[in-house]
Amino acid sequence: MRTDTQPSESHAVSAVCAAVNRNRLLDTAIRLIAKPSPTGSAGEVSDELAAILIEDGFCVERVAAGHVAAPAVVVRYSSGRAGRTLQFNGHLDTVHLPFVPPKVIGERLTGSGSADMKGGIAAAVEALRAIRDVKGISGGAILLTAHDLHEAPWGDGSQLDGLLAEGYVGDAALLPEYFNSALPVIGRGGFTWAATIRRPGPPVHEVYRPNEPSVIGVGAKLVAKLEQLDAKLAMRPDPLAGAASAFIGTIQSGSIYNEYPQTCRLEGTRRWLPGTRFADVDREFRELCRGLAQDTMTTIDVETHLMRDAFLLDTTDPFIGIFQSAYATMMGEQLPIGGKPFVDDGNSFFSRAGVPAITHGPTAGGAHTTAEWVNIDDLVRVARLYALIATMYCSHTT
């Protein structure tokens, strides 16, 4: 524990941490998980979160931000005095997998979205309650935002982009995604891609195949080219974020063992480091596919969808120091500085709004599977940490 905490600060720390209610937090998480919310269809859980916050006495605003099927949930809690605004932000949508209802098993809460990231949102809501209950910020405000359209490929991040464009943005942001082994100050950008290879003729029995290129063979050549690109990118890694990459996740062609197929479809991801632009990486990928199509006398249709752009935080920003101070106050040591292995909404805060955003959430597992879980005690820890960071950050003027 820190030893330089002043008496008044120690009292504030104790009060705001004590105000976090484990049972109330758990009930909120269960209520959110109980509402199925595949990306694009998070309206029911958005309504549920709004109802929870209204029950708690907060003034809730619903903002469509380009997605009227599930308006975002927005709450602003102000101290009434000058200071910074700290934003708690999370997504309410889940990947498109069979729905699993919530269940408490020992110290774990399971169910769809428990890890990614309804448990984290519940922790942020509880931090907001704790701050309100003990008047934990002497200045500034807390802005809570929760939205749909996060998970690729069904979502494109556009609802959050709309919120940011409409001014629903703080001076800094915390995102309770399931990552807590380091303080991530750098992260790669990424897009998903699909390449559909076609030959002119129809599918036929393989004994009658025409003198046309094998789309599977061309697919194999595309795999080889992307593996060569991936190996080249791996030679120039960032010490924290790792290397840029080219990845192939699926290959689909034909419907039976002796059919000469007409199409072959490959899908994957392409990731890049800060300092590289999405437009440049997108153009490079399309040119690679265009050249292969010309060489093989096929057509290759390319689709790319930006997940998020790369980000790089200034480690001297006061928000970084306050996060580390709050973390050390609770845990007795600071987090190591590191990179973020995945893309999330923090990338958007940086690239679209120029706002420092830190991803830090509960210990969890099984994200993007039907076996998600989150540690309940760690949800409590995250709620306390978020409340404590707010007490230290918001009262300062910018």
pLDDT digits 0-9 by tens, 10-31? 666 789 999 999 999 999 999 9
- Residues 145 and 286 both lie in one domain: no
* pLDDT band, residue 395 (cuts 50/70/90): confident
The whole-number pLDDT of residue 11 equals: 66
Place of tokens 């490959």: 266
The whole-number pLDDT of residue 12 equals: 67
**pLDDT score of 6 more than 60:** no
**pLDDT score of 398 more than 80:** no
Task: Please state the rounded mean pLDDT for residues 214-241.
Answer: 97
Q: Which residues pair with 184 in a beta bridge?
A: 338
Q: Is residue 126 part of a domain?
A: yes
The whole-number pLDDT of residue 206 equals: 95
**pLDDT score of 102 more than 90:** yes
Q: What is the pLDDT of residues 261-316, one digit of tens each?
A: 999 999 999 999 999 999 999 999 999 999 999 999 999 999 999 999 999 999 99
- Residues 314 and 256 both lie in one domain: no
The Cα–Cα gap between 294 and 13 comes to 65
Structural domain ending residue among the three candidates 277, 308, 339: 308
Q: Is residue 2 part of a domain?
A: no
Q: Is residue 1 part of a domain?
A: no
Structural domain ending residue among the three candidates 308, 338, 357: 308
- Residues 49 and 166 both lie in one domain: yes
- C-beta neighbour count of 235 within 10 angstroms: 7
Q: Is residue 384 part of a domain?
A: yes
Range of the domain at 327: 7-186+310-393
Tokens matching residue 213: 């290129």
- Residues 304 and 314 both lie in one domain: no
Place of tokens 């998600």: 372
- Residues 19 and 78 both lie in one domain: yes
Which stretches within 213-354 are classed as H helix? Answer: 215-234, 278-296, 318-331, 345-353
Q: Is residue 293 part of a domain?
A: yes
> Exposed/middle/buried for 136, CB within 10 Å: 0-12, 13-18, 19+?
buried
- Residues 62 and 117 both lie in one domain: yes
The whole-number pLDDT of residue 31 equals: 98
- Residues 162 and 27 both lie in one domain: yes
Half-sphere exposure for 373 (CA within 13 Å, toward CB): 12
Q: What is the pLDDT of residues 122-149, one digit of tens each?
A: 999 999 999 999 999 999 999 999 999 9
Q: Is residue 360 part of a domain?
A: yes
Structural domain ending residue among the three candidates 279, 308, 337: 308
The Cα–Cα gap between 391 and 135 comes to 9
What is the percent of the chain where pLDDT is above 90? 94
* Of residues 375, 383, 331, the one with CA closest to residue 24: 383
Q: What is the pLDDT of residues 160-202, one digit of tens each?
A: 999 999 999 999 999 999 999 999 999 999 999 999 999 999 9
The whole-number pLDDT of residue 5 equals: 42
Q: Is residue 398 part of a domain?
A: no
- Residues 180 and 70 both lie in one domain: yes
Place of tokens 């062609």: 253
The whole-number pLDDT of residue 4 equals: 40
Q: Is residue 62 part of a domain?
A: yes
- Residues 351 and 304 both lie in one domain: no
- Residues 376 and 283 both lie in one domain: no
- Residues 125 and 22 both lie in one domain: yes
Domain at 120, CATH number = 3.40.630.10
The whole-number pLDDT of residue 305 equals: 93
The whole-number pLDDT of residue 2 equals: 38
Q: What is the pLDDT of residues 326-375, one digit of tens each?
A: 999 999 999 999 999 999 999 999 999 999 999 999 999 999 999 999 99
The Cα–Cα gap between 113 and 368 comes to 9
- Amino acid identity of residue 25, one-letter, is L
Give me the number of domains the chain comprises. Answer: 2
3-state secondary structure of 253: strand
Task: Please state the rounded mean pLDDT for residues 68-97.
Answer: 97
- Residues 148 and 40 both lie in one domain: yes
Domain at 218, CATH number = 3.30.70.360
Q: What is the mean pLDDT of the chain?
A: 95
